[in-house]
Amino acid sequence: MALQTDDRYKMVEKTMKKLGYERSALIETLHTAQESFGYLEIDALKMIAKRLRLPYSKVYGVATFYHFFRLKPKGKHTVVVCTGTACYIKGANEIAQELENKFGIHVGETSSDALVSLLSARCVGSCSLAPVVIYDNHVSGKLSSQEALKKAEEMLV
Amino acid sequence: MIESMQDLQEIRQKKLCSQGECEGEVRVCIGSSCASIGSVELEKELRARVKEKGLETKCRVKGVGCNGLCSEAIMVATYDKVQQKEDIYTNLQANDVEKILAFIEGQSSLKEHFYDTSLPFFAKQIKVVLENAGVIDPNDIDDYIAHRGYEALFDILEHKESREVIEEIKQSALRGRGGGGYPTGLKWESVAKVESDVKYIVCNGDEGDPGAFMDRAVMEADPHKVLEGMIIAGFACGATQGYIYVRAEYPIAVEKLTKAIKQARKYGILGKNIADSGFSFDIDIRLGGGAFVCGEATALVASIEGGRGNPRQKPPHLSDHGLFSEPTVLNNVETLANIAPIMRNGAEWFNSIGIESSTGTKVFALTGHIQNTGLVEVPMGMSLRELVYEIGGGASDNKKIKAIQTGGPSGGCIPDAMLDVSVDYDSLKKIGSIMGSGGLIVMDESSNMVEVARFFMDFCRSESCGKCVPCRVGTTELTDLLDKFIAKKATQSDYTLLRQMCEVVKESSLCGLGQTAPNPVLSTIKYFEKEYLEGIADD
């Protein structure tokens, strides 16, 4: 593996070093890894396990426990539908449904051409704007299904 | 470096004087709602234009945290220093820079955007936790100090002993704002009593309840207040290290807290031997990974230790056996934000707000089918009706309110007819809901209560850590049962089973998540039984 020369690994190494290679550094390290790679590669998880002297099963167990961590790469664009209570009350389910139909994928999946990932969030804390969809890190609120679709099209242009 | 109260006051005066050169301030809200429609750009552009026009001596432009009335974003407040008067303007757009500029120059009024603060939304609020939200620049420690920040801490370091601090907090009768309502003073006392070289203060900023964003607003608008509360807690309990556990989904909160910690370290407010008092304390941030169960104390601790957020049996409690097996205080963001005001103004002042069994204020996030969505802080003991109808302005779109939900997935639904209940820990519990962390979701007639109950049950099902059977299996079975009611295919025995299983999950689950998961079902059965009966097929 030519991994150790990869800059992205250097970032991960830096976090582990800062936290003294303690086993408790695992989650912080996973955050850094996801930030650098965009998702948690299996090779990265294995490297982290080795460096922190943890069984790989534990690292994998933690990475899959938390919603925030992704084990698959994201598409070029991301659409995140908030499914918190306020958004649910204001029709987030219909919006998710419409977007699923539009992209032909389910929430949590990436289109086969890797163009779009459709994701859901538990709550992004923008409840007063409900229902909320986040297009490529830009929050859009008070959306109708139609507007949500329109914004998705604008994003892809 | 700040080494004494005198140093602190000098910084305060200096800041106030440099502000004094200006006649006023323009405070642009850069909270999440306003920011999503361009308030950050508006603030930046406005500041640049004010500089360009040489108006800096007349007016200081700054970005501030959430002002509360999120439904009327973008909000801009003007502060007249001479008259000490704040005016609020709402519904501004990102491109209204020239409009605001003309107002600063006195060439026009912003009449059509003026919001009358004598209206109930603002007039009925009492701000303790949010006293600085919408007022100070969260990126600037000096601005916090100018608004009497860290005064409580330095007063304690110079004049008080740790037991006096605990006594004051006990006197204030402050109860945990995360929802549990355990007296904060007692929690601190039990940790202070334990003999140990290492103790921890942990701040729970995980805010996993979907539909709640109070803690987010506090961390984003006034991060130093959380730090000050933690340092005081550390002093009172004899701890030297604190951790703030924040959701990774709140990147702005993480950014503000990180900056605040850096500034506090630079001033010597965090670190070794603070203000030469012999007391050392430092704070680090740990990111959560989006797991609702981590709101449970032992699960949160397991997560900071780098593992899966699995809760464990209690006792031992965190006060004996907490983070890294050491005595630990775990407080919610809002609880800690109450500490500095209490120490500054005294327990008696705090007791004068709210009611005897629940003192002080509570911050609520008003959302759902309500006119004024946003963040409000009200004295305990106010009726829910006043909160929803007067402050919240009632239902949106001229509809009728059917129920409100408090406490998120652990709470319950309260029908409109019972809204005269007082907002305090005990009254809400009595009617089958809980205070919770402060999410308050209003539902109008279009909401089907069985579907709402299913929404929460499905949430608990997916958030269950899977460690104990009643919660792991029970929430799944309950979700399936509720589906039958929604499809109108349930039987009478399904209805019996639904109620029995709720009791089993409630009584036999290991931690709070499972124990409270049936609450949304039980409370909707209690108040909206008709909708369940309609789900039972005739034959």
Q: Kindly list the distances between the CA atom of residue B316 and the CA atoms of B70, B163, B175, B295, B322, in Å, as whole numbers in the listed order.
A: 42, 24, 21, 18, 8
Q: Which of B228, B221, B128, B178 is nearest to B333 (CA)?
A: B178
Which residues have CB under 8 Å from B510's CB, separation 6+?
A: B311, B312, B313, B467, B468, B470, B471
pLDDT band at B376 (very low <50, low <70, confident <90, very high): very high
Question: Is residue A57 over pLDDT 50?
Answer: yes
Q: Which domains does chain B have, with CATH numbers?
A: 21-117 (3.40.30.10), 148-351 (3.40.50.11540), 361-444 (3.10.20.600), 449-533 (1.20.1440.230)
Least confident of A124-138, B19-33, B54-68, B204-218: B19-33
- Amino acid B20: pLDDT: 62
Percentages (nearest 5) of helix, strand, coil residues in chain A: 50, 15, 35
In this structure, how many other beta carbons lie within 10 angstroms of the beta carbon of residue B6? Answer: 10
pLDDT band at A137 (very low <50, low <70, confident <90, very high): confident
Question: Cβ separation of B306 and A62 shorter than 8 Å?
Answer: yes
Give the C-alpha separation, B515 to B510, whole Å.
7
**AA identity, residue B331:** N
Mean pLDDT of B427-439: 92
Give the C-alpha separation, B297 to B321, whole Å.
11
- Amino acid A126: pLDDT: 86
The structure tokens listed for A155 are: 């994003």
Task: Calculate ∠ Cα B535-B537-B539, nearest 5°.
Answer: 160
pLDDT band at A12 (very low <50, low <70, confident <90, very high): very high
Question: Cα Rg for chain A, rounded, in angstroms?
Answer: 18
Q: Which of B59, B319, B335 is nearest to B193 (CA)?
A: B319
Q: Which helix (H) or strand (E) holds B430?
A: helix B425-430
Question: CATH number for the A77-156 domain, one of 3.30.70.1560, 3.40.30.10, 1.10.150.120, 3.30.70.100?
Answer: 3.40.30.10
Least confident of A145-149, B35-39, B94-98: B35-39
Give the C-alpha separation, B246 to B180, whole Å.
19
Nearest to A61 among B212, B292, B308 (CB): B308
Q: Which of A151, A153, A156, A122 is nearest to A139 (CA)?
A: A151
Give the C-alpha separation, B203 to B277, whole Å.
24
Query: A-chain residues within 8 Å CB-CB of B209?
Result: 123
A interface with B, Cβ–Cβ < 8 A, is 22-28, 30-31, 58, 61-62, 65-69, 83-86, 88-90, 121-130, 138-141
Least confident of B73-82, B114-123, B483-492: B73-82
pLDDT digits (tens, 9 = 90+) for A107-121: 999 999 999 999 999
Question: Cβ separation of A123 and B304 shorter than 8 Å?
Answer: no
Nearest to B367 among A61, A67, A127 (CB): A127
Mean pLDDT of B308-334: 97
Mean pLDDT of B506-517: 96
Q: Which of B33, B200, B456 to mutate to test the interface with A (most CBs of A within 10 A)?
A: B33
Q: Which of A58, A81, A104 is nearest to A151 (CA)?
A: A81
The structure tokens listed for B151 are: 């005064």
Mean pLDDT of A77-106: 95
- Amino acid B539: pLDDT: 65
Query: B-chain residues within 8 Å CB-CB of A130?
Result: 367-368, 373
Find residue B85's DSSP bridge partners: B80
Share above pLDDT 70 across residues of chain B, in percent, rounded to a whole number: 99
pLDDT digits (tens, 9 = 90+) for B1-13: 999 999 999 999 9
Query: B-chain residues within 8 Å CB-CB of A28?
Result: 286-287, 306
- Amino acid B208: pLDDT: 87
The structure tokens listed for B374 are: 């946003």
Nearest to B290 among A68, A83, A88 (CB): A68
Give the C-alpha separation, B103 to B35, whole Å.
22
Question: Cβ separation of A85 and B366 shorter than 8 Å?
Answer: no
Domain segments of chain A as ranges: 3-65, 77-156
Question: Cβ separation of A65 and B32 shorter than 8 Å?
Answer: no
pLDDT band at A1 (very low <50, low <70, confident <90, very high): very low
- Backbone φ and ψ of B231, nearest 5°: -65, -40
SS3 B201: strand
Q: Kindly list the distances between the CA atom of residue A11 and the CA atoms of A6, A20, A36, B408, in Å, as whole numbers in the listed order.
A: 9, 14, 7, 38
Mean pLDDT of B53-66: 91
ipTM for the predicted complex comes to 0.93
- Amino acid A3: pLDDT: 54
Asked if B135 and B68 count as a contact pair (C-beta separation under 8 A), the reply is no
| pTM (predicted TM-score) | 0.96
Q: Which of B456, B467, B178, B309 is nearest to A69 (CA)?
A: B309
Query: B-chain residues within 8 Å CB-CB of A128?
Result: 33, 70-71, 213, 365-367, 373-375
Mean pLDDT of A8-37: 95
Q: What is the dihedral of CA B512, B514, B520, B521, to 10 degrees?
A: -150
Question: Is residue A2 over pLDDT 60?
Answer: no
Q: Which of B36, B375, B460 to mutate to test the interface with A (most CBs of A within 10 A)?
A: B36
- By CA distance, what is B373's nearest residue in A? A128
Q: Which residue has the tokens 């008092």?
A: B277
SS3 B74: coil
Peptide bond into B126 cis (omega under 30): no
pLDDT band at B362 (very low <50, low <70, confident <90, very high): very high
Q: What is the dihedral of CA B440, B441, B442, B448, to 10 degrees?
A: -140
Asked if B254 and B287 count as a contact pair (C-beta separation under 8 A), the reply is yes
